[in-house]
Structure 1
Amino acid sequence: MSNIWDPAIVMNEGLVKEIVKEQFPGITIKEIKKIGEGFDNTVFSLNNEILLRFPRRKIAVKILNVEKNLLPVIHNQFEMNTTVPVLDGKPSKLFPWPFLGYSYILGKPPIRLNREERIALIEPLAIFLKQLHSIDLIELAKIKLPYDELRRLDINFRKPQLEKYVQQAIRNKLIVDEQKINHYIENLVEIQSETSLILVHGDLHFKNIIVNEQNKLKGIIDWGDAHIGKCELDLSIVYSLIPFDQRESFYAIYGKVSEASKKLAQFKAIFTTIVLLVYAHDQNDYTLVNFCQENLRNALIE
């Protein structure tokens, strides 16, 4: 069965070294190390100073172009770090697509969070999203950002996909409370967002945030899905990471939103977490499986 995260091109350290030597001869290569991969990119560390991201499939080239154009414009508008492109890699015989090198944020995505650590994320996440969602779209007019072409909050469109991934998770015995997730899906109906169009990160889940050794938030990465869209898309992280009984503490900082917006954000959190759960199992990453299961339990609580 083909998955959306299956790569068209598999990268390794040796190939990356040859590409860097060819395109950036002025850089002394001390170490190149693979540090992760997502649905769209394979990520390497260059000398622990530059983050290299290579598309895993052709569609990811468009995503890199969004980051290349957007991040230099907005990176200084936040209190926390965001990656900024510093190397502009070109297609070559060694690799057919462009790639980027970014400023390095020291840390890693969280794989475990206790209650206190989750609560500690509330203030920095709320401030970050408040700042992001307040950026004037007029300042971004020249970038020509896309709108939500993937219908990420269209429940009628996304519900069959959610059902498919839930059934896949159930077959693999990944769902702790099958009755609860099935009840949620059975009662899931279309919800219309009434919020204004704003700049959104577009893919804000735990794999795209960076924390330090103490699980304190250090930065936000992977901006390729940024677009002009709806705030509920980014607010989904509240429902996966923030303890359910502390959500109002987030909104006390970010600002009030409607009950409809909260339900849309919850839907996106559940959808994304289910996909990440199936992905983690496919990658045999059982630490990640456990973390996704914790996040799903949290997201399903009203």
Structure 2
Amino acid sequence: MADRPAADVDVSVDLVRALLRDQHPDLADLPLRVVASGWDNVVLRLGDRLAVRVPRRPEAVPLVLHEQRWLPELARRLDVATPVPVRVGVPSDLLGRPWSVVPWFPGVLASGVPPERRGPVVAPLARFLAALHLPAPAGAPANPVRGVPLRTRDTAVRERLATGLVPRADEVTPLWAAAVAAPPWARPASWVHGDLHPANLLVTAQHDLAAVLDFGDLTAGDPATDLATAWLTFTGPARAELRALLDATGRYDDATWVRARGWALCMATALLVTSDDDAHLAAIGAHALHGALDDPA
């Protein structure tokens, strides 16, 4: 196995405080601490109501720009909280890349709640997806690994399966092949969140949906990418409920759900072979893999 992609910059409290003093001095004296470091960004809590998101590697720079450009527009039609930037950081001598100050939302990540207790998330997440999955404009961000036809991910998935690090790889192979062979999305390109797993869903103490996080992979394309959350996030009964609610919109056919299960396998295999240093993400990958193999939704 391997670790997450390496960072090329040390995003520390000292660096971020210097950035704030340089560009947003009215925020610079608020309490500041690192709370998360993902594949792409380091997140620091800023005071009681704000957070700072800073790209930890160059590949994350366009993702920050996508959030800054598009999330304010999309958020107006979504009925769940999203991290719309409240301040923008621009490249400077201190850090030659953009960064954002966003709201801090109270709650816990859904990935910290046992999968069988995530049922209250289903209905609000279905509403979120129905509101998001509308045709995207021509200028929407392009993403080479999300929202694209599954055949473009075939080589990467088969390489992961060949590592010997993916459980039940012999069962995954035919299921993946069937997903790749499914009819593609034939409607106008839809807005796609692109990374809708339980570590990007914030929930309340009652396990209701509090916010949808991390829109860096936002793109236009096949909404089946987002429907993979049926396996990434839920167990069988909640998975079936999510499908029923979304099918009632009339937007998704059986082929879309076949591709969605393929996307779940694509994301699960990626998490399983690149999360030596993050048991949290590895657990999401294992949950999605076994769910996709055992339950077609």
Instruction: Confirm whether residue 260 of structure 1 aligns to residue 251 of structure 2.
Output: no
Number of equivalences: 291
- 2:283 corresponds to: 290
Deviates more, 1:124-133 or 1:234-243: 234-243
Q: 1:232 to 1:291 in 2, by over 3 A?
A: closer
Residues 194-233 of structure 1 deviation map (CA, whole Å, 9 limit, x = unaligned): 3332222122222221123443211111112212212111
Residues 122-177 of structure 1 deviation map (CA, whole Å, 9 limit, x = unaligned): 1111011011114x64xx56xx2224444654333212211223344x34xx63x4
CA distance in 2, matches of 1:179, 1:62: 36
CA distance in 1, matches of 2:66, 2:76: 17
Instruction: Confirm whether residue 181 of structure 1 aligns to residue 176 of structure 2.
Output: no
- TM normalised by structure 1 equals 0.85
**Equivalent residues of 2:172, 2:265 under 8 A apart:** no
CA distance in 2, matches of 1:151, 1:98: 22
- 2:88 corresponds to: 88
CA distance in 1, matches of 2:2, 2:232: 26
- TM normalised by structure 2 equals 0.86
Amino acid at match of 2:20: V
**Equivalent residues of 1:151, 1:157 under 8 A apart:** no
Q: 1:290 to 1:248 in 2, by over 3 A?
A: closer
CA distance in 2, matches of 1:246, 1:93: 49
Amino acid at match of 1:125: L
- 1:272 corresponds to: 267
Alignment match of 1:201 (pick from 181, 193, 199):
193
**Percent of counterpart pairs with the same letter?**
25
Amino acid at match of 2:61: V
CA distance in 2, matches of 1:57, 1:188: 32
CA distance in 2, matches of 1:239, 1:10: 34
Q: Aligned to 2:181, what secondary structure does the other structure show?
A: coil
Q: 1:185 to 1:250 in 2, by over 3 A?
A: closer
Instruction: Confirm whether residue 236 of structure 1 aligns to residue 228 of structure 2.
Output: yes
CA distance in 2, matches of 1:17, 1:271: 38
CA distance in 1, matches of 2:288, 2:213: 20
Q: 1:60 to 1:261 in 2, by over 3 A?
A: same
Residues 252-289 of structure 1 deviation map (CA, whole Å, 9 limit, x = unaligned): 322242221111111111111222233332x1x33443
Q: 1:118 to 1:2 in 2, by over 3 A?
A: closer
Amino acid at match of 1:184: L
- 2:111 corresponds to: 111
Residues 97-119 of structure 1 deviation map (CA, whole Å, 9 limit, x = unaligned): 11111112222322344354232
CA distance in 2, matches of 1:50, 1:246: 32
Select the structure with the greater relative contact order (CA < 8 A; seq sep ≥ 6). 2
Q: Aligned to 2:282, what secondary structure does the other structure show?
A: helix
Deviates more, 1:57-66 or 1:288-297: 288-297
Task: Please list every run of 5 or more consecutive structure 2 residues that lacks an aligned counterpart in the other structure.
Answer: none
- 1:226 corresponds to: 218
Q: 1:287 to 1:147 in 2, by over 3 A?
A: closer
**Equivalent residues of 1:29, 1:46 under 8 A apart:** no
- 1:6 corresponds to: 6
Q: 1:86 to 1:108 in 2, by over 3 A?
A: same
Task: Please list every run of 5 or more consecutive structure 1 residues that lacks an aligned counterpart in the other structure.
Answer: none
CA distance in 2, matches of 1:150, 1:240: 17
CA distance in 1, matches of 2:101, 2:172: 40
**Equivalent residues of 2:195, 2:215 under 8 A apart:** yes
Question: Could you tell me how far 1:4 is from its partner in structure 2?
Answer: 6.6
Q: 1:4 to 1:163 in 2, by over 3 A?
A: farther
- 1:15 corresponds to: 15
- 2:292 corresponds to: 299
CA distance in 1, matches of 2:204, 2:68: 25
Q: Aligned to 2:91, what secondary structure does the other structure show?
A: coil
Q: Aligned to 2:96, what secondary structure does the other structure show?
A: coil
CA distance in 1, matches of 2:75, 2:83: 8
CA distance in 1, matches of 2:80, 2:179: 36
Q: 1:59 to 1:115 in 2, by over 3 A?
A: closer
Q: Aligned to 2:109, what secondary structure does the other structure show?
A: coil
